[in-house]
Amino acid sequence: MRLRLNGITKQFPGVLANDHVSIEVDRGEILALLGENGAGKTTLMNILSGLYRPDAGEIVVDDTPRSFRDPAEAIAAGIGMVHQHFMLVPIFDVTDSVTLGSEVTRGPLGVIDRPAARARIVELSETYGLDVDPDAMIEDLPVGVRQRVEILKALYRHSDILVLDEPSAVLTPQETDELFVIIRSLAKAGTAIIFISHKLNEVLEIADRITVLRLGKVVGTVIPAETTQAALAEMMVGRQVQLTVERKDAARGPVVLTVDKLQVRDDRGEITVKHLDLEVHAGEIVAVAGVQGNGQTEFVEALTGLRAIDAGTVSVDGKAIPGDPRGIADLGVAHIPEDRLRDGLVRGFTVAENYVLDAYHREPYSSGIRFHRDAVASAATKAVADFDIRTPSISTDVGSLSGGNQQKVIVAREFGREVKLVIASQPTRGLDVGSIEYIHRRIVEQRDAGVAILIVSTELDEVLALGDRVAVMYDGEIVGILPAAEATREKVGLLMGGVR
Which positions touch other proteins (CB under 8 A)? 12, 14-15, 17, 36-40, 42-43, 215-216, 304, 306, 324-326, 329, 335, 337, 342-349, 353, 357-358, 360-361, 365-366, 368-371, 373, 390, 392, 397, 399-402, 404-405, 432, 434
Residue 50 or residue 403: which is nearer to other proteins going by CB?
403
CA angle centred on 438, ends 225 and 386, rounded to 5°: 145
How many CB atoms lie under 10 A from the CB of residue 43? 22
Amino acid at 9: T
For the bound state, the minimum distance from the C-beta of residue 182 to other proteins, rounded and expressed in Å, comes to 28
Query: What CA–CA distances, in Å, run from 455 to 46, 238, 432?
Result: 36, 29, 19
| H-type alpha helices, 128-172 | 143-156
Cα–Cα distance between 245 and 154 in angstroms, integer? 41
Residue 23 or residue 479: which is nearer to other proteins going by CB?
23
For the bound state, the minimum distance from the C-beta of residue 42 to other proteins, rounded and expressed in Å, comes to 6
Residue 365 or residue 415: which is nearer to other proteins going by CB?
365
| Torsion (CA) 164, 166, 171, 173 in degrees, nearest 10 | 100
Residue 335 or residue 469: which is nearer to other proteins going by CB?
335
Pairing of strands 79-82, 319-320: unpaired
Residue 158 or residue 361: which is nearer to other proteins going by CB?
361
Residue 431 or residue 452: which is nearer to other proteins going by CB?
431
Query: What CA–CA distances, in Å, run from 406 to 34, 128, 388, 394?
Result: 21, 40, 11, 12
For the bound state, the minimum distance from the C-beta of residue 449 to other proteins, rounded and expressed in Å, comes to 24
CA angle centred on 241, ends 235 and 244, rounded to 5°: 135
For the bound state, the minimum distance from the C-beta of residue 401 to other proteins, rounded and expressed in Å, comes to 7
Residue 253 or residue 325: which is nearer to other proteins going by CB?
325
For the bound state, the minimum distance from the C-beta of residue 50 to other proteins, rounded and expressed in Å, comes to 17
For the bound state, the minimum distance from the C-beta of residue 329 to other proteins, rounded and expressed in Å, comes to 6
Query: What CA–CA distances, in Å, run from 13 to 10, 73, 216, 392?
Result: 10, 27, 14, 12
For the bound state, the minimum distance from the C-beta of residue 115 to other proteins, rounded and expressed in Å, comes to 39
Cα–Cα distance between 195 and 178 in angstroms, integer? 15
